[in-house]
Structure 1
Amino acid sequence: MTNVRPAQRIEWIPIERITVVNPRLRNKRVFREIVANIAQIGLKRPVTVTRRAEADGPFYDLVCGQGRLEAYQELGQKEVPALVVSADTEDCLIASLVENCARRQHKAIDLLQDIGGMKARGYSESEIARKTGLSYDYVHGVARLLEKGEQRLLVAVESKTLPISVAIEIAEADDHGVQRALHEAYENGLLKGKKLMAAKKLVEARRRRGKHLQVNSSQSQKMSSAALINAYKEDVERKNELIRRANGAHDKLILIVEAIRRLQGDEEFTGLLEDESLATLPAEIQQRVVGERASA
């Protein structure tokens, strides 16, 4: 059991006073996504630090949030919102591990519900934006979607499948208005390619199954025998298709190798190739032709 006492409030702390005591290498692509996300909508969760008293202090050791801290620094920020906890070095390392493990269990909808919880406790949207480091527009949009019970749209917003502005338009529109919102988002470059297709599927799922997600695993439907048979048949068909394609490629390869072998036996053709300095073949093809000739 660790002795980390939870923080009571968020403080803005100079980044230069925070030390990453347990630095980790980070995937560059993932880090760029973090930076872009924070630049667009702000910091969703403050970093967590512990205070370290020194002569020129105070200074702070990072408990968790290295990626967020470095992204904030990358964006040229001098201060970062942080939860300050009381803990020694060992407890900080344990707390960091626990926090990372616990984060894997969170669903996007759970994180977004925190905004609704703060609003229910009396915080204004401006206060929530200031305390969380999120943009006001993002907080306002999430609050509107929460009020309408738009769980599907909220998850799409969190996963960056759908811009918050488009999600709000969909939530407040009828069926015709939803299609118009998607069309306008496409025209304005907000939805393109795969994201547009995903948005259309989302809208259709919302129309057929409602705004809410079925998150209770105890209510998940068991696969019926008919569904199991269909899944098996589909899997068999996919494998048969792969076999057909592999056999087709093999037959074409044999045809090409045989054609090359016969052409190499044509003295007039090989003489023409030599005159044009094209008498050699890539080593892999030549080995295959020689192998076919030997087997013949």
Structure 2
Amino acid sequence: MTETIKTGQMQMIPINLIDVLNPRERNKRVFEEIVTNIQTIGLKKPITVTPRPATDGTDRYLLVCGEGRMKAFHALGEATIPALVIEVSDENAFIMSLTENIARRHYRPLKLLAGIQQLHEQGYDKKVIAQKTGLCVEYVHGILTLLMKGEERLLVAVGKGKIPLNAALSIVGAGDDDQAIQAALQEAYETGKLRGKQLIQARRVIERRQTLGPSVAKGTPRKAQDVTTASLVRVYQKEVDRQKLVVKKAQLTQQRLLFVVSALRELFADENFSTLLRAEGLDSLPKYLAERVLSGGRTI
């Protein structure tokens, strides 16, 4: 499925002759910034199009890259826009458009990840998708796994960077068993897959997933179950496991603080080091540390 892309030529193309292959919603503030930049300094990079004659034989073009720039030009009242005209197939045009979107920070993650699924459905295997999009094979495999299982809620969290992909896969691998999910979370914490805010975010995503289902668009609250002794035990055990994680995190933080306090005490005992800090204007400490490092009282 490889294709040699011919070197394109720069042309002034009428905007009304350009069709958008992969339209996407755009943040209003970001779009206004694009319009302002083009109005102030002009178009720094031309859009990319490929010829696609209409059924009546008239010349038309398919937009490959530069939807925001084209819309900004249109908003400024321009009828034509500088464009690099290349010869590519519909599939390669889609891939080029998807690749540009992947490079953007503000692209909607679920729509972007669905694009990876579309490439897969068109017959591209994980390795080829990775090569064409610049993603690693493991990432593509993980995304396709979540997509095939309908885990939209986890996909959005991964796409926004709230939780890492390997942690999301561990959650999915645990199924719907609450204890297995908690065990997966604990293992992810202990192995360093989830740290700090990511652990909190993962818990929130799991709670929404359990309540609203894995789908974002069609999630509906699950029917409440009758309170039984077994359900109360499960809730209690869940809270116990959560508290254990909190305690473990607190103990780790305490150990690190003790190490920092001990190290700083030894450093400040060295007069040469203290003199150097004063000379560089770095002789102050946060109050919390100063009370423990510079006083003779207890450290914690």
Alignment TM-score > 0.5, same fold: no
Kindly indicate which of the two structures has a greater share of residues assigned to helix. Answer: 1
How high is the TM-score relative to the length of structure 2? 0.40
**Larger RCO: Structure 1 or Structure 2 (Cα < 8 Å, ≥ 6 residues apart)?**
1
- TM value normalised by structure 1: 0.41
Larger Rg: 1
